[in-house]
Structure 1
Amino acid sequence: MSSPIGSDSSVLFSLGWNDAFAAELPTGLIPARVTRVDRGAAEVLSADGHFPVHYSAHVRRAAAADPVDLPCVGDWAALRRLPEGRFELEALLPRRTAFVRGGVGRVSRGGLSGDSQGQVLAANVDVVFVAEPALHATDTADLGRIERLLALAWESGGLPVVLITKSDLIGEGLDFLMEEVATVAPGVDAHAICSITGEGVEIVRGYLKGTRTAVVLGASGAGKSTLVNALAGEAVMEIQQVRAGDGRGRHTTVHRELIPLEGGGLIIDTPGIRRIGLYDMGEGVDMVFSDLEALADRCRFADCGHDSEPGCAVLAAIEDGTLPERRLESWRKLQREAAWMASRSDARLRKELQNKWKIIHKEMRKPGRSRP
């Protein structure tokens, strides 16, 4: 990865380092930002340069207990310099924001589904770009995918922005497509861009002023790497030509990587997301469906399920065409999924607590152990 940043103390500040992170840095350790991760190792940028580091035993134990504690791209890490001169990743500083998806775990030995586990795709991001390609005039965007990514984006703490990429492929249907996108992204900026022609690229760059960090998320072939290259002004990420006949790109990016940009700001490119599971939802779904929530406040009954209740403002809006029925069905689906994920998470936490007390009781029953 080519970097426009020199190896001196200004590196940290250009990467987003600030007093809040400095206050969390353990004494004697060196700060660095994670630019790429691999199994058991990471690449970091620090005032000493760009180099690989391995995880300490403490970090490996924490990650084994919960995958969310694995180092990820965008993390600020505390490094320890070892006697032989190399560095070890000793700890992660508290994340200011984190984009986490669920449903990536496996069944545990305790028999509980690992679907309650999450995976952090990017940390300490200021802006979350949701990239959805415009294909042909007869096609529409995957509105459900946009809604899911926006729910996770709101939950992350970053600012969601929708980017309709490859806008040159849709012709006169672009205005209609942008209207559709607006219906699923209330309160969110949405822009049509084409990284090849340069349309909208400067608008995207405007979100990355100073030391802001953005992550680009979307399906394979959405043009994420092409956008990153356009912002960087050079080919920092490999891309492939679109497939003949459908305008879709082939999946190229196989890792997440933090790219410092020449004009300031940083951007994280990501592989195409195939599964977008919700994880530990707070108000993310409510933010995506703020239009529906506003209607629900006008329902006759406070506990209205928007099914067949009299005086339901949501059903009335569907009847008069101001709210698409697809929108209500999507809200129901995401609400059910968020509730299910919360129940699985609660079950996992209960199991972990039970195991903890089993260990304590086992220790207390050992011969010679004093009892109260």
Structure 2
Amino acid sequence: MNSDTSPLSVRQRTELETRFSGCRCGRVSGEGMHLYRVMSGDDELLCRVSGAFRHAAAKKNEYPVTGDWVALRGDGGLIEGVLTREACIGRASAGGTTEQQILAANVDLAFIVAGLDGGRNLTRRGIERYLVMVRESGAVPLLVLNKLDLCADIAGSLQEAEEAAPDVRQLLTSTVTGDGIDELIDSIGPEHTAVMLGPSGVGKSSLINALLGEQRLAEGDTRQSDHRGRHTSTSRSLVLLPGGGSLIDTPGLRELRLWAGEGSLDEVFHDLEYYARNCRFRDCTHQGEPDCAVQKALVDGALSHERYESYLELRKELDYLHRRNDEQARAEEVRRWKQISKSVKRFYKNKKG
């Protein structure tokens, strides 16, 4: 990857030339414990962040992630900074704190992969959840229905996927028969970056090997008892495709806690929002208010109860996330002013002394 012809945005290129003058550009292709694989020109380097970077970074999500464009000092080896991210796939981090965990950066296209081999690999709610995450990033979603050769009910699966992701392009694929692989390759432009998303067992690694034309990634089996997949990808990695473009592989997520705004949820459930425009009250929650157009659509059968329940579940989760963020922001503001007050008191105490 030649940094002179790399697909940097105008903003990123300007930032490299001004804020990081004298640095060369590289792209993070993998992450380890305090080490990063970075592609720059024809080289792939093992890099660390500089001391100045560690001192300036206030949050964990400011550190490099797979897909980031970074500024390298000298011969490489030291990352001086991360160029402004254009589009990020992220989720809410696990644990007591509420902050965003970025899974992949500078992504143009997101493949949401679902398995057609039965079991729990294809669920409407799972597709809807991934779709909210992708809409929040700004990347273009593409629903990849994989393992076509093992599908017992193609028409039923297509209908279920359409109900979960209306107006999202669908692609049926099989790495066994080769169906859909050429279309998948053609969907990635020569200077675009795609990311593979989905639970374990849906065949993400097999699809990537098919796109590469070689067995580069390990492929796992799916348990026949419950059709649950084993984690073959344990970390995120970026690979270059033979015809141009890049692809980021992600491990199957055991837990996908959303990090998104109301706009992304409304975009995914635009069919429900269509009816919501006719509700009597602008702040209608669609849960019992008078003259609720959403409730009327449910009674008339124009809107499915399953989709309505999914919307309420995701809305409740995002409302909780936003409350936690507000609480943390208020607590941080209180701590900041306490620290300022202590500093002022010490100043006057020393002045009197």
TM-score (norm 2): 0.91
Aligned residues: 348
Paired residues of 2:114 and 2:121 also in contact (CA < 8 A) = no
Residue 73 (structure 2) pairs with residue 80 (structure 1) = yes
Which residue is equivalent to 1:110?
none
Counterpart selection for 2:123 from 142, 155, 177: 142
- 2:330 is the counterpart of 1:350: yes
For the residues of structure 1 that align with 2:284 and 2:229, how far apart are their CA atoms? 44
Residue 342 of structure 2 is matched in structure 1 by: 362
**What is the aligned partner in structure 2 of residue 322 from structure 1?**
302
Q: Residues 267-307 of structure 1, C-alpha deviation per residue, up to 9 Å, x if partnerless?
A: 10000011111114241111110000001112333333322
- Partners of 1:336 and 1:211 in 2: how far apart? 38
Is there any run of 5+ residues in structure 2 with no aligned partner, and where? none
Deviates more, 1:280-289 or 1:213-222: 280-289
CA contact (8 A) 1:129 1:216 kept: yes
Partner of 1:258: 238
Q: Equivalents in 2 of 1:118, 1:59: separation in Å?
A: 19
Alignment partner of 1:283: what SS? helix
Matched residue of 1:31: which SS?
Answer: strand
Runs of 5+ in structure 1 lacking a partner? 107-112
The offset of 1:210, in angstroms, is 1.7
When structure 1 is superposed on structure 2, of 138-147 and 41-50 the one drifting more is 138-147
Q: Does 1:223 align with 2:203?
A: yes
Partner residue in 1 for 2:270: 290
C-alpha deviation, 1:139, in angstroms: 7.0
Match of 2:220 in 1: 240
Query: Does the 8 Å contact 2:3/2:25 carry over to 1?
Result: no
Q: Aligned AA for 1:37?
A: E
Partner of 1:109: none
- Cα distance in 2 for partners of 1:75, 1:47 equals 15
Match of 1:162 among 143, 166, 174: 143
Question: How many percent identity over aligned positions?
Answer: 35
Q: Distance in 2 between matches of 1:185 and 1:256?
A: 26
Contact 1:62 1:69 in 2 (8 A): no
Amino acid of the structure 2 residue aligned with 1:333: E
State the 1:329 CA deviation: 1.0
Question: d(CA) in 2 for partners of 1:232 and 1:339?
Answer: 41
Task: In structure 1, give the amino acid aligned to 2:109.
Answer: V
Q: Which amino acid aligns with 1:36?
A: G
Q: Which residue of 1 aligns with 2:92?
A: 102
Rounded Cα–Cα distance in structure 2 between residues aligned with 1:268 and 1:240: 18
Deviation of the 1:48 alpha carbon: 5.4
The 5 Å alignment of 1:31-42 reads 31-42=25-36
CA distance in 2: counterparts of 1:129 and 1:142, whole angstroms: 16
CA distance in 1, matches of 2:260, 2:303: 27
Bigger Cα displacement from structure 2, 246-255 vs 260-269? 246-255
Could you tell me whether the CA contact under 8 Å between 1:33 and 1:76 is conserved in 2?
Answer: yes
| Structural RMSD (CA) | 2.2
Asked if structure 1 preserves the Cα contact closer than 8 Å seen for 2:121 and 2:202, the reply is no
Deviation of 1:187 after TM superposition, in Å, equals: 2.5
Structure 1 range deviating more: 263-272 or 302-311: 302-311
Q: Which moved more, 1:93-102 or 1:341-350?
A: 341-350
The residue matched to 2:302 in structure 1 has which SS? coil
For the 8 Å contact 1:43–1:52, the answer to whether it is kept is: yes
1:67 to 50, 60, 63: 60
Tell me which amino acid in the other structure corresponds to 2:10.
D
Aligned-pair CA distance for 1:246: 4.9
CA distance 1:142–1:12, change in 2 (3 Å): farther
Cα 1:370/1:335, change in 2 over 3 Å: farther
User: Cα gap change, 1:278/1:319 in structure 2, threshold over 3 Å: closer, same or farther?
Assistant: same
State the distance in 2 between where 1:200 and 1:344 align.
Answer: 43
Aligned-residue offset at 1:42: 0.7
How far, CA to CA, are the matches of 2:4 and 2:28 in structure 1? 12
Residue 112 (structure 2) aligns with: 130
Shift in Å at residue 62 of structure 1?
5.1
